[in-house]
Structure 1
Amino acid sequence: MPADPRPSLAHRNEILLVGRLADAAQERELPSGDVVVTFRLVVDRPPQSRARSRAAVDALECSAFRADVRRRALAWSAGDVVQVEGALRRRFWRSSTGPASRGEIEVERARRLAVERDATPA
């Protein structure tokens, strides 16, 4: 059998985001018993993207299942600048109106880059 002439393409689902935390992270237990911490990250769109859309930012839902990432996220405050690395996931469930789904970032690594400071002097 002849070798496949097409180049090998490795599929990748990797995301790296830097943005501001919209609100404090929330922890909850799923029906499976797993614990997840969720938070919303507000990320500026690049200038060339803003020219095509009225939206200047994207608010992205993030979820963390790893214990170290959950602890770290729970220590953050609204407005903190954070970096997250992970993958895009699509979650499916059954709602009262039928099947539903949403996209979210499943966070594997995260760190705070800057703490939001009150701009008014004390």
Structure 2
Amino acid sequence: MTDENNRVHLTGRVSGVPESKVLPSGDEVVSFRLVVRRSAAARRRSKQVVDTIECSVWRAALRRSVLRLEPGSAVTVAGALRRRFVSGGAGVMSFVSVDVDTCRKVSATAVASDP
């Protein structure tokens, strides 16, 4: 049984080259940012037209696939939202990212159209 309460589906463009990191635990993760266009209704409330979402890929086969994506690639991802914490010079900060379960390339027109 899967928990569908925390499930997101996003379509957008990869903003840069995906990066692979080995964590102190020995786990490997590939991260990339997805630029997602806001809906027309959301753009009426804000001047911001896109959101940039951090995405993390943990499964080995999917990591290899995502590492081949190029900046500007149009993709659809599905996964779960996660709140992450990082410490730095300004103290502990948190942000939300998507733990990606699936990622597939789509046509550029899929990204350009408003929902």
SS in 1 for 2:9: strand
- Give yes or no for contact 1:21–1:82 (8 Å, CA) kept in 2: yes
Report the counterpart of residue 39 of structure 1 in structure 2. Answer: 32
Q: Report the residue type matching 1:32 in the other structure.
A: S
In the TM superposition, 1:1-122 aligns within 5 A as 12-114=5-107
The 1:78/1:61 distance shift into structure 2, 3 A limit, reads same
- Give the TM-score of the pair, scaled to structure 1: 0.80
Q: What is the CA-CA distance between 1:68 and the residue it aligns to?
A: 1.6
> % of aligned pairs identical?
42
SS in 2 for 1:51: helix
Q: Which has the higher helix share?
A: 2
> Post-superposition, which runs of at least 4 consecutive aligned residues in structure 1 deviate over 6 A?
none
Q: What is the CA-CA distance between 1:100 and the residue it aligns to?
A: 2.2
1:37-63 per-position Cα deviation (integer Å, ceiling 9, x unaligned): 000000110101000000001111101
- Give yes or no for contact 1:72–1:111 (8 Å, CA) kept in 2: no
Structure 2 unaligned runs (5+)? Answer: 109-115
Q: Report the residue type matching 1:15 in the other structure.
A: V
Distance 1:12 1:36 in 2: 24
- Give the TM-score of the pair, scaled to structure 2: 0.85
Q: Report the residue type matching 2:43 in the other structure.
A: R
Q: Which has the higher contact order (CA 8 A, sep 6+)?
A: 2
CA RMSD in angstroms, aligned pairs only: 1.7
How many residue pairs match? The answer is 106
1:51-100 per-position Cα deviation (integer Å, ceiling 9, x unaligned): 00000011111010111211111011001100100011001243344322
